Structures are given as C-alpha cells and as structure tokens.
Chain A
Amino acid sequence: MKSKAHELIESPEFKKLVRTRWIVSFLLLFLLFANYYGFILIIALKKEWVVERIGQFANFGLIAGAGVIVLSWILTFIYVIWANRVYDKEVDALKSKLEGGR
C-alpha cells in the first residue's frame, strides 16, 4: 500500500527508524567522547598512568595515542556496518511504501 509523506512520518516504522538512528549515533558519539576526552583528561590529571613503562622504553602514553586513533576508526566502521546491514534495508522498505517514492 502506498502512502503520503505525512502518513509515513506518523507511522511507527518511521518513528522507530529515526529513533534507532539517533540512538546508534549518540551511543557511538558517547564512546568517542569517552575515548578521546578520557585520554586528554588522564594526561591532564593522572599523568603517572601514562608514563608507566611497558617493555624496555615504550610507555602506555605512546600506545594510548595510537590506540585512541585506532578505536575512533573502529567506531566509524561499526557505524558503517550498522548502516549497511540495518539502516539501509529499513530505508528501502519504507521508501517502497511512499507514494511516488523511488
């Protein structure tokens, strides 16, 4: 059954899509914040944690710097995987219900 834009927006499926999208986004954004600002605040407030050695010369700080970048990158890819597997499918399903939609 085809429906108009207004009905679509009021439909529970669309509301659920919007809600899920932002829950995923803000959850990932929260993890990004914890990751990056955690790193900054540890350096500012708990410096003794990062200067501790691992191995002969390296310390936690050197690993953590690269670690924050890698973790941010992983978060980005979690979003892509979620969007490709879940979001896009639901979008296509909703679009097919829309009158004159492509």
Chain B
Amino acid sequence: MESALGQPNFISVAFFFLFVVLTLGITYWAAKKTKSSSEFYAAGRSITGFQNGLALSGDFMSAASFLGISGMVALKGYDGIIYAVGWLVGWPALMFLLAEPLRNLGKYTFADVLAFRLKQKPIRIVASIGGILVTITYSIAQIVGSGKLINLMFGLSYEVAVVIVGGVMLLYVLFGGMIATTWVQIIKACLLLFGVTLLVILSLSVFGFSLENLYGGVESKFGRAALEPGGLVANPIDAVSLGLALMFGLLGLPHILMRFYTVPDAKEARKSVAYATTFIGYFYIIIPIVGFAAAVLIGREQIAGIDKGGNMAAALLAELLGGTPFLGFIAAVAFATILAVVAGLTLAAASTISHDLYFNVFTEGKASEEKQVSVAKKATVVFSIVSILLGILFKDQNVAFMVGLAFAIAASGNFPALFLSILWRGFSTMGGVWSILVGSISATAFIILSPTVWVDVFKFKEAIFPLKNPAIVSMSLAFIVAFVFSKLFPDMNAKERYESEKVRVYLGVGAE
C-alpha cells in the first residue's frame, strides 16, 4: 500500500486550519467574557456536568492513548488491551474518594484543599512544587509526541511542529483562559470519539461486522499469541505497581483536578465524573478494534516500518479505509488532541504559579483581581516557552517514560496528602509537607534507578531499583511519612479547623 503519510497533504492541512480557526473563534468569544480571576481559572463556575464530563475526557484522552494504544494492540496484540484497561479504572476511584470534597473545599487548585486547614505558606509552596513537576513532565511528553507525530504525518520538521503546538496553545490559554480551554477540549473530545467510532465501523464492515471474523483474521495472520497476554504483566508486583500509578496518578493530576472548580456544585462535579467515565470507557473498549484491524489489514511490518512504536497504525488504517480525506481528518484530530491536553496543562501550571505562589504565598492574599489575572497570563507565557524549549531539548527522550514519571509523581506526591487532608483529623502541616516532598522525590529517584532509565537509557547492566514503576513503594512511603510527621509534629489549629472543613466537605455549606 502506498501511503500519503509524511507528505504535507492539502486535506489534512485544511482540516487542521479549520479546527484552529474554529477554536480561535471561540477563544475570541471567551476573551470578552474573561475578566475576573474566577472566569480565568474556573470559567466562572458556569460549566454544566455534561460539558465538564466531555471536557474531562478531552483533557485525559491524550495522543498517547489514541495513537499509542491502537499501535500497541497492532504490534503486540493483547498486551495493549491490558494497558487500555488501566487508563480507565482511576475514574471510579476519583468519584468515590475525591470529586465531591474537592469541589466543596477548593477554589482554583488542588492546593486550596490542602491549605484549607493547614498552614498556608509551607503547604502551598510544596504543593506547587509537586504540581509543577507533574505538569511539566506530562507536557514534555505531549510536546515530544506531537513533534514526532507532525513530523511523520505532514513532513514538517520537529522543531517547527513544536513551536506551532506551543504557539496555538498559548493563544487559547492566554486570551480565553478556562472558558476557551474547556471548549477546545469539548470539541476535541467530540471529534476524537466521532473519528474513532467511524474508524471502528469502517473496520468492522470489512469483517462483516463480526468480531469473531476479526479475531479469526488476527489468529490466521499472527497466530494465537496475538490474542493472548504476553510479557507485559509477567511480574505481578510490577503489574500491581503500574496499576496503582495509573489509578491514583489520575487522582493527583493538577489539570484534571482543577476541572472540578468549573462546575457550580458537588452534584455537577459528580455528574462530570459519570459522563467522563462513560465517554472514556467507551473509547478504551473500542480502541483495541482499531489496533487489531490495522494489524490484519495493513500488517505489522508496514506499521512498524513507518514508526517503531506503532503510533501510525490508526492513521494508516484511516487512509486504507477512507482514503486521503479520512487520513487528513484523523491527522487533524490527533493534532487537536495534543493541543487540547497541553492547553489544559498550561492553564493548571499558570494557576498554581499565580494563585498558590503569587497570590497566597508572595502577597499573602492581598493582590487585586487584575493583578492576579495579569500574573497568571505572564505565567502562561513563561510556562509555554519553557515547555517548548524543553520539548526541543528532550527530542529523543522516550515518551512513555515521561508519562510514567508524571503519573508516579502524581500518585505518590499529590494524592496521599490530598486524601489524608480530607479524611484524617490528625493530619498536620509537617505531615503534609514531608509527604509531598518524600513522595515526589522518591518516585523520581526510583524511576531513575529503575530498569526503564538505569538500564534502557544509561545502559547499565543491572537496575538498582527492581520495579519498572515505583508507585507501590513511593506511595507507601508518602503515607508512612505523612503519618509519622503528623504524630511527631501535631497541629492544633488544623485539628480545630477540621470541624468547619467537615461541614463544607459533606454539606457543601460555604463552598464558593
């Protein structure tokens, strides 16, 4: 099969421009509504549960899930499905543990929840460190992925692609704030769900709309092994550790958590998660079909020939089934996907810098509305430039490793402190500070000493830390440290304030 992939084809460029023009139009409309800091960070709390559910899906379904998982299924078979399942199971946990308390306690960032009864300055400073570490590693992964993707799809150079992604994303966040970012994510989620559904229907039509025929095709071409688990979960402790990172990492991702402040109350926050789980679950159930169909109809060799990681499987399948126009559409969707996720991350980082660090720590809550929004905009510019530069610097870095790092830090650094501050009366400022620091630092250190970096990147013979994902150890450490330091350095103020926190957590009284 001859592929138009890698050439700057007119239709994909046209689709891409259509998307950018449409979303910039929304940004222009949003810019006129975005005056106060509540509008900039939280869309004036005017988003409905359904809209927020779509936006959460848009924020979460990254190019890594769309292109990465379909490619993994195409090249490795069943193991790709195991991975896909892990990406969904955090959502119910988010619903049971955090969604409502988060909405009732916070204003703009997850640090608001921690700082509700603990000492403002120390807790906000370390929470910002944890939050920014997660957003920057996750952004770099997205940006590096986008650069390679554009390179493969349109034939543009890596650096040009990175600058385009960074530039367009900067415009959304800078002028439209949370309102524009939300709508970009909603549009992207709809396009992605539509595109993948169409791809699945077209694939199944080739197999007479029967999954049995599709599986039969896989078996006759690649043997039974393609439909059975391979080496991904050979080591059970490693598998559980990866599962913990995927599940609880979601509960510590700043750009996901801040979406809960865009809805008016806890009931809408609950609805948001229900809708998000529905859309994301649907997506992860059907995405393996794309991978299997690509393997059968195109062949593993050709998919791997274009990109070793299999990331082009979905695009090649689209071209085969729908010609260049469909390839163009899927390419534009993939690009929109990256843009939307990076915009969400940038906004989360900007809020942390301006709301937690500048407003609450530096000026001790005395800065005016205009000043806060202006600092947030400056932070957006700085964060974008830094991530573009790091994206170029980390050009050849393994993207999966960066995503793994972001999730491990989120699960170990942010989640334990957030969880304990809601549930445990005896949680103290020192406990919170050290839990975040120990969780984030140990997660990072263990990943560097793990086989993924120590052996694969640094080429040492044996890894110092045996597990590929450290969450099971670093999360436990964070909980233990939180407990020990809270007992050693109790916080009377925090205990007294726990009462008013409770009224707010459970009844929503006094929540903004």
B-binding residues in A (CB < 8 A) = 5-6, 8-9, 14, 17-18, 21-22, 24-26, 28-29, 32, 35-37, 39-41, 43-45, 47, 50-51, 55-59, 61-62, 65-66, 68-70, 72-73, 75-77, 79-80, 83-84, 88, 91, 94-95, 98, 101-102
Within the complex, the shortest CB–CB distance from B57 to chain A, in Å, comes to 13
- Does A44 contact B234, Cβ atoms closer than 8 Å? yes
Interchain CA distance A73-B91 in the complex, whole Å: 9
Instruction: Name B503's closest neighbour in chain A (CB-CB).
Output: A5
Within the complex, the shortest CB–CB distance from B240 to chain A, in Å, comes to 6
Q: Given A51-B228, A72-B91, A44–B78 Cβ distance below 8 Å?
A: no
Q: Which listed residue, A41, A79, A94, touches B507 by the CB 8 Å rule?
A: A94
- Does A79 contact B95, Cβ atoms closer than 8 Å? yes
Interchain CA distance A79-B96 in the complex, whole Å: 7
Interchain CA distance A43-B83 in the complex, whole Å: 12
Q: Does B270 belong to the interface (CB within 8 Å)? A: yes
Instruction: Name A36's closest neighbour in chain B (CB-CB).
Output: B89
Interchain CA distance A29-B82 in the complex, whole Å: 20
Interchain CA distance A74-B281 in the complex, whole Å: 11
CB neighbours (8 Å) of B285 from chain A are 66, 69-70
CB neighbours (8 Å) of A75 from chain B are 92
Interface of B is mostly: helix
- Can you give 28 A-B contacts (C-beta < 8 A)? A5-B503, A9-B503, A18-B506, A22-B423, A29-B96, A32-B89, A36-B86, A39-B85, A40-B82, A40-B236, A40-B239, A40-B243, A41-B236, A41-B240, A43-B82, A44-B236, A51-B228, A61-B228, A62-B81, A65-B78, A65-B84, A69-B88, A73-B92, A76-B274, A76-B277, A79-B270, A91-B506, A95-B507
Interchain CA distance A79-B284 in the complex, whole Å: 21
Within the complex, the shortest CB–CB distance from B60 to chain A, in Å, comes to 14
Q: Does B222 belong to the interface (CB within 8 Å)? A: no
Q: Does B499 belong to the interface (CB within 8 Å)? A: yes
- Does A69 contact B85, Cβ atoms closer than 8 Å? yes
- Does B507 contact A98, Cβ atoms closer than 8 Å? yes
- Does B236 contact A8, Cβ atoms closer than 8 Å? no
CB neighbours (8 Å) of A5 from chain B are 499-500, 503, 509
Interchain CA distance A55-B243 in the complex, whole Å: 30
- Which residues of B14-44 have CB atoms within 8 Å of chain A's CB atoms? none
Within the complex, the shortest CB–CB distance from B145 to chain A, in Å, comes to 24
Interface string of B193-232 (1 = CB under 8 A from A): 0000000000000000001100110110000100111000
Q: Given A17-B506, A69-B85, A73-B278, A59–B499 Cβ distance below 8 Å?
A: no
- Does B88 contact A72, Cβ atoms closer than 8 Å? yes
- Does B243 contact A47, Cβ atoms closer than 8 Å? no
- Does A44 contact B92, Cβ atoms closer than 8 Å? no
Q: Does B164 belong to the interface (CB within 8 Å)? A: no
- Does A61 contact B235, Cβ atoms closer than 8 Å? no
